[in-house]
Structure 1
Amino acid sequence: MHALARLAALSALFSPVLLAAPASAQDVAAGERSWNKCRACHQIGEGAKNIVGPQLNGLFGRTAGTVDGYSYSAANKNSGITWDEAVFAEYIKDPRAKIPGTKMVFAGIKNDKEIADLTAFLKQFGKDGKKL
């Protein structure tokens, strides 16, 4: 079989597989770039501290308003939220709509792909700040 014919046959064989790949795959590197919007107020990773906002190590699975040493608003402490991907996505789009009375002053991230990427970046860090 001629090389071009083989290439065409392989292309036809694998095209459906390539097209079936999820279009919304999370991109940790893009999430790290998005993190730059957060880092003025938050830290993450080993040695992270509370600054304007609480450190975000181990965010997913944590109850809102529970980071030791951070002074949360009553609204945040009493929100009853446990952070997961869906709650975080809703919150980061418009923090004050999700938790009226929160101290967080942030315009939000509206793009779902950017939120998914940021989520992937944040999920790398365990409670101790080490990458999982």
Structure 2
Amino acid sequence: MRLRTLTIGISALLSAPFVAQAAKPAAAPAQPAAFAQCRVCHSVTKGGPAGLGPNLFGVVGAAAATRPGYAYSPAMKTSKIRWDRARLDTYLANPRAVVPGTKMVFAGLKDPAQRKAVIEYLAALK
């Protein structure tokens, strides 16, 4: 009888709500509508390949021209940029003004609210 009581006690403990649950992977954040322009050239899949532009997964906080599998322009390679939110904001507004000679042909995202949405989306990709 004592063994049965012990077994029931352990079963109750293991099913208790305070037992650590297996961590669920975080859901990918929703892409803002403005990111559709970026998606033409950039992927955002962790470990994914570069497209016409480099993969942007985890780009916020990263140094410029360091993504593997992409041939950066000499201008971007020597820019010494760290992609924080403020730098991304100015770059996305007018890429050629921030890095003259960049290969990025995008004219810029002029709407500050759209830039903010894109930057927050990129920042969530970790």
| TM-score bracket relative to the smaller structure | 0.7 to 0.9
1:86 alignment partner in structure 2: 86
Deviations 1:59-108, CA, capped at 9 Å, x for gaps: 11111001112100010010010000000000001101100000000011
Length-normalised TM-score, structure 1: 0.70
Structure with the larger RCO, 1 or 2 (CA within 8 Å, 6+ apart): 1
CA distance in structure 1 between the partners assigned to 2:76 and 2:47 by the alignment:
24
RMSD: 1.4
Give 1:47 deviation, angstroms: 5.0
Contact kept, 8 Å, 2:49 with 2:69, in 1: the verdict is: no
> How high is the TM-score relative to the length of structure 2?
0.73
Would you say 1:40 and 2:40 are equivalent positions? yes
Give the Cα separation in 2 of the matches to 1:73 and 1:79: 10
Q: Distance in 1 between matches of 2:110 and 2:75?
A: 22
Runs of 5+ in structure 1 lacking a partner? 1-27, 127-132
Which residue is equivalent to 1:63?
63
Give, as a single letter, the amino acid of the residue that structure 2 aligns with 1:78: T
Runs of 4+ in 1 over 3 A off after TM superposition: none
Unaligned runs of 5+ in 2: 1-28
In 2: Cα distance, 1:76 partner to 1:121 partner: 23
Which is higher, the Rg of structure 1 or of structure 2?
2
One-letter amino acid of the counterpart of residue 59, structure 1: V
How do 1:1-132 residues align onto structure 2 when only pairs under 5 Å count?
32-46=32-46, 48-126=48-126
> Residue 43 of structure 2 contacts residue 56 of structure 2 at CA under 8 Å; is this kept in 1?
yes
Provide the aligned length of Structure 1 versus Structure 2: 98
Percent identical across equivalent pairs?
40
